[in-house]
Amino acid sequence: MNSFRLRPEAGIALAYLAFGALWILFSDQIVASLALSTATIMQLQTYKGWLFVSASALLIFGLLRHAFSQERLAQERLLSKQAQLAGEIAERLHAEELLRRVSLRLAEAQESERLALSKELHDQVGQSLTALGINLNLIQAEIGPSISPSLRAHFSSASELLQEITDKIRDIMGELHPPVLQNYGLAAALRWLAERIQRQTGLQVEVQGEIIEPRLPMVTAISLFRIAREALNNVIKHAQASRAWVRVEATPEQVILCIQDDGQGFDPAITQNNQNSQWGLATMRERVELLHGSMKIESAPGEGTTIIVRVPRAL
């Protein structure tokens, strides 16, 4: 329990009141006990008044000096704590900025590795699969019409399997680092993503946006691309939507990415308490925060969902 403490002005008033009461009580008793003449008593009363004024002045001076001293010490302690807190905040902000920059470098290194692996798949595995397909067609042509139905079925099955493997390799390359993003920029990559999703799932995705010039830093472009992909994956898994829209636009200061769907929507407050539902959104937020951006979610049951991401153009 906190102890009761008087305010300085209340303490001074009470001290002065006590001093005045004691002065009047004891000084009058002392003067009365001396049994002096009336003239002498009048003179003593005058001296007593002057002495009371002087003693009161000294008392108030001492009390005020003590109060001001305590107030000054309290202010000094407060300023010291504020300076210490400001230093800790500055250190924390500096550490957070260093961590963000390290995270950006790690993200750039990761994307470089993804790009290198994607190129390796294209140059090595892709070319080998293409050569294998050509060889299968040559063998089938050499055998000619005399090929047996069972062998023809095996050739057909092998060709289909080869095409399936080739498609999977292309999908993996797209997951690692979509070549269209490297070659043509964010808007083109989003259109490629929309076509791929529509082909695989049937979800109608419309992309709006023009080529952004000058080109965005690759870590910004790939982060926005992955945010859009994660948002569209959430639409496919949870929204029960038939259409989705992706819009990207740029100003001299920032890039705005908007993903909207006509699905069943959700209550953001409930989703915040659901770790499973929040996993995809948390990943998106981490990417946005890494770029010093912001993400806003607008949704309600039965009204679809809109996600608005804003990130600065410069890192």
At 1 the pLDDT is 46
Q: How far apart are CA 96 and CA 244, in angstroms?
A: 36
Q: Across the chain, how many H-helices and E-strands are there?
A: 9, 5
Mean pLDDT (10-residue bins), the chain, 315 residues: 59 72 71 67 70 74 79 88 88 80 76 76 80 82 75 81 84 80 90 92 92 88 92 91 94 94 84 59 88 91 93 86
* 206 neighbors 264 (Cβ within 8 angstroms): no
At 248 the pLDDT is 95
Residue 195 to residues 48, 122, 149, 182, 198, Cα–Cα distance (Å): 103, 21, 37, 18, 5
Rg (Cα) of the chain, in Å, rounded?
Answer: 41
At 117 the pLDDT is 80
Q: How far apart are CA 179 and CA 32, in angstroms?
A: 110
Which domains are delineated in the chain? 1-177 (no CATH), 179-315 (3.30.565.10)
At 63 the pLDDT is 73
* 126 neighbors 312 (Cβ within 8 angstroms): no
* 201 neighbors 190 (Cβ within 8 angstroms): no
Residue 202 to residues 199, 225, 239, Cα–Cα distance (Å): 6, 20, 14
Phi, psi at 214, each rounded to 5°: -65, 160
The sign of the dihedral angle between the CA atoms of 218, 224, 226, 232 is: negative
- Condensed to tens digits (0 to 9), the pLDDT of residues 177-229 reads 788 888 889 999 999 999 989 988 999 999 998 888 888 988 899 999 999 99
Among residues 218, 225, 226, 231, which one has the least CA distance to residue 248?
Answer: 225
Other C-beta atoms within 10 Å of 264: how many? 15
At 3 the pLDDT is 52
* 241 neighbors 203 (Cβ within 8 angstroms): yes
At 71 the pLDDT is 83
